[in-house]
């Protein structure tokens, strides 16, 4: 048997929240039956920029009902919308949920909870409620042939069992693909942990020839689960193993209980008390109605119990104290849930400061990620390949530019204040920056740099970015005192710069509400040129704020040229700078 969490169409769990936000308040909420509605849902997701449905770009009348069904399935699997079951079962499942009107594919209480969750930690709590309630097989996913089990608890149990055997309580990507997602608790948690340990021992013996070792291990797993599979199909089966492991990793990490470790996962120290409580608990078996009810409401968490919540708060306080920060003890009558969220955010900020300070030592890795955007992939310093996850290119572009500025190590604003996009517990992007403001803002001792990035090309670039970028830069210019304020510069970074976009930024003037005019200093920069500048500054990071300011000013001096010539001059200025 091979199981997975989530939906291969929606590889980024956090996008489900964006889909719910688009869905709420429309006539499609609780009305997603049939091809026409499925098409309408896919179109809604495209128009809301939740999904990039390229077929609609080519032909607005294209049939995209398949995408509507897949997104509907992803939302219903995890209980964020209801499911189309028999009238009798539906009535039983919704009997204790007054918020539901009785329609299939309607946003559930846990779905609304996710919509209302702004901080990343609050969103993760919604995914935790979902995955703690989640069982396979179920009335929603009946195809699995095994006793019902909770994948989240199963993975946690295996990790704790590895500890019992004195082995590392983490799971590499390959270990998960070969031994976890191909088994269930009925195989025996101890037996599975032993298989993982034996694999690690075989791997130690295969040092120097790991590629052949992995190939053989994957082939053995495919044949073990299907001895009659034709040889020419083995490669496809191997790819399926990897695809499902990648998908499950993403959804497991969305609970906040796991962190990346190499190419695998380990338990998140911040949430170790919660993971331990889940491990110690008995898995509840539900009938179909109780299962759906629990999934739609969201499972009760260990932290819903006050005694457990206090233990978690004390553990968080210890971790914060270990980083040299004092924590006020819980006061009588204090809301323990609020206290927990405050401490979780404080700990995340402390860890993000550590991450920020480490970026100056990550120049090669950052460069490789920028190169991956320019060439499709690149080799990381550890030998692995940097490849931008499909569908996440905009978020990753913001993320790598943010990291580039962090590496300069001269910020006067906090790293979380410098970005408007959200990151997870591994500081990987989970979404792009929302509208209404710039992607990033970096404050240095003598300047503020407002940064916008895009993957948009052609004349669409100017239409999508010309006005918002100027408005966002103007907001920061206006906020500076007339005398003594820091100069504000705008940096617009794209793979390629359309001449219409460059033309818009040449003058860049902006009128305020009182009709007074302010001058904007915005420079459009190709990603290739940014890459050259970053490479040049890698050995002189302390000088980079001044170098960057000089480049922007020199480029602005040339802004009197026509747009095509100005673009060429900007590239020449970068080349002259890096050849000094």
513-571 tens-digit pLDDT: 999 999 999 999 999 999 999 999 999 999 999 999 999 999 999 999 999 999 999 99
Which pLDDT does position 165 carry in this prediction?
A: 95
Residue 485 reports pLDDT greater than 90: no
Average pLDDT over residues 359-378: 96
Q: Which of 122, 154, 422 lies closest to 278 in space, CA to CA?
A: 154
- Cα separation, 151 vs 170, whole angstroms: 16
Q: How confident is the model at residue 214 (pLDDT cuts 50, 70, 90)?
A: very high
pLDDT class of 138 with cuts at 50, 70, 90:
very high
C-alpha to C-alpha distance for 65 and 41, rounded to whole angstroms: 8
**Mean pLDDT over the full length of the chain:** 94
Cβ distance 551 to 577 under 8 Å?
yes
Question: Could you give the CA distance from residue 171 to residue 261 in angstroms, rounded to a whole number?
Answer: 8
What per-residue confidence (pLDDT) applies to 119? 87
- Per the listing, tokens 């609780």 go with 30
421 pLDDT more than 90: yes
Q: Tokens at residue 9, please?
A: 């169409």
- What pLDDT, in 10s, does the model give residues 42-59? 999 999 989 988 899 888
Classified by CATH at the fold level, domain 362-578 comes out as: Restriction Endonuclease (3.40.91)
Residue 363 confidence class, pLDDT cut points 50, 70, 90: very high
Rounded Cα–Cα distance for residues 204 and 194 (Å): 15
- At 254 the pLDDT is 97
Q: How far is Cα 187 from Cα 162, in angstroms, rounded to an integer?
A: 15
Q: Which of 139-143, 162-166, 324-328, 489-493 has the lowest mean pLDDT?
A: 324-328
Per-residue pLDDT band at 130 (split at 50, 70, 90): very high
Structure tokens at 469: 């970028």
What pLDDT sits at residue 459? 79
* Distances 482 to 437, 477, 511, 512 between C-alpha atoms, Å: 22, 9, 16, 14
CA distances from 393 to 175, 398, 456, 532, 577 (A): 27, 9, 11, 21, 29
At 192, is the pLDDT very low, low, confident or very high (cuts 50, 70, 90)?
very high
Taking residues 32-51, what's their average pLDDT? 95
pTM to 2 decimals? 0.91
d(CA 488, CA 520): 8
Pair 10, 16: CB distance under 8 Å: yes
Output the pLDDT for position 230: 83
């Amino acid at each position: 048997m091979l199981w997975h969490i989530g939906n291969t169409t929606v590889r980024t769990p956090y996008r489900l929240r964006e889909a719910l936000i688009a869905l709420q308040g429309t006539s499609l909420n609780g009305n997603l039956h049939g091809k026409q509605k499925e098409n309408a849902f896919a179109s809604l997701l495209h128009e809301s920029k939740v999904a990039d449905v390229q077929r609609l770009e080519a032909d607005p009348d294209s049939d995209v009902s398949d995408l509507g069904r897949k997104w509907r399935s992803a939302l219903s699997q995890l209980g964020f919308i209801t499911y189309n079951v028999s009238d009798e079962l539906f009535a039983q499942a919704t009997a204790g949920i007054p918020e539901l009107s009785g329609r299939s594919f309607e946003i559930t209480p846990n779905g609304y909870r996710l919509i209302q969750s702004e901080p990343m930690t609050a969103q993760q709590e919604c995914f935790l409620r979902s995955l703690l309630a989640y069982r396979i097989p179920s009335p929603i996913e009946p195809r699995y042939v095994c006793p019902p089990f909770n994948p989240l608890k199963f993975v946690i149990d295996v990790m704790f069992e590895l500890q019992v055997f004195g082995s590392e309580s983490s799971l590499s990507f390959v270990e998960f693909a070969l031994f976890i997602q191909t088994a269930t608790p009925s195989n025996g948690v101890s037996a599975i942990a032993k298989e993982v340990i034996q694999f690690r021992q075989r791997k130690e013996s295969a040092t120097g020839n790991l590629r052949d070792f992995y190939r053989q291990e994957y082939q053995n797993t495919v044949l073990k689960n299907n001895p009659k599979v034709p040889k020419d199909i083995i490669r496809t089966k191997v790819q399926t193993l990897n695809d499902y492991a990648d998908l499950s990793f993403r959804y497991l990490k969305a609970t906040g209980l796991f962190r990346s470790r190499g190419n695998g996962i380990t338990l998140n120290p911040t949430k170790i008390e919660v993971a331990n409580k889940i491990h110690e608990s008995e898995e509840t078996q539900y009938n179909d109605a109780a299962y759906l009810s629990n999934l739609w409401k969201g499972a009760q968490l260990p932290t819903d119990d006050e005694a457990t919540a206090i233990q978690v708060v004390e553990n968080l306080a210890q971790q914060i104290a270990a980083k040299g920060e004092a924590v006020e003890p819980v006061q009588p009558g204090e809301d323990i849930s609020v206290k927990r969220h405050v401490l979780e955010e404080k700990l995340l900020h402390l860890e993000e400061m550590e991450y920020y300070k480490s970026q100056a030592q990550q120049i090669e890795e950052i460069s490789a990620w920028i190169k991956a955007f320019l060439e499709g992939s690149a080799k990381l310093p550890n030998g692995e390949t940097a490849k931008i996850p499909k569908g996440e290119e905009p978020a990753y572009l913001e993320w790598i530019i943010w990291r580039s500025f962090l590496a300069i190590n001269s910020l006067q604003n906090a790293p979380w204040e410098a970005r408007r996009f959200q990151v997870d517990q591994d500081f990987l992007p989970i979404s792009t920056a929302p509208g209404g403001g710039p992607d990033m803002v970096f404050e240095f001792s003598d300047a503020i740099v407002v940064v916008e990035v895009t993957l948009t090309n052609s004349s669409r670039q100017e239409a999508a970015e010309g006005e918002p970028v100027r408005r966002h830069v103007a907001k920061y210019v206006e906020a500076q005192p007339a005398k003594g304020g820091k100069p504000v510069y705008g940096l617009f970074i794209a793979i390629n710069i359309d001449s219409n976009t460059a033309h818009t930024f040449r003058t860049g003037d902006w009128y305020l509400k009182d009709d007074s005019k302010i001058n904007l200093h915005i420079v459009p920069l190709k990603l290739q040129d940014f890459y050259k500048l970053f490479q040049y500054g890698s050995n002189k990071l302390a000088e980079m704020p001044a170098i960057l300011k000089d480049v922007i000013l020199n480029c602005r001096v040339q802004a009197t040229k026509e747009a095509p010539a100005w673009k060429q001059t900007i590239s020449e200025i970068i080349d002259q700078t890096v050849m000094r």
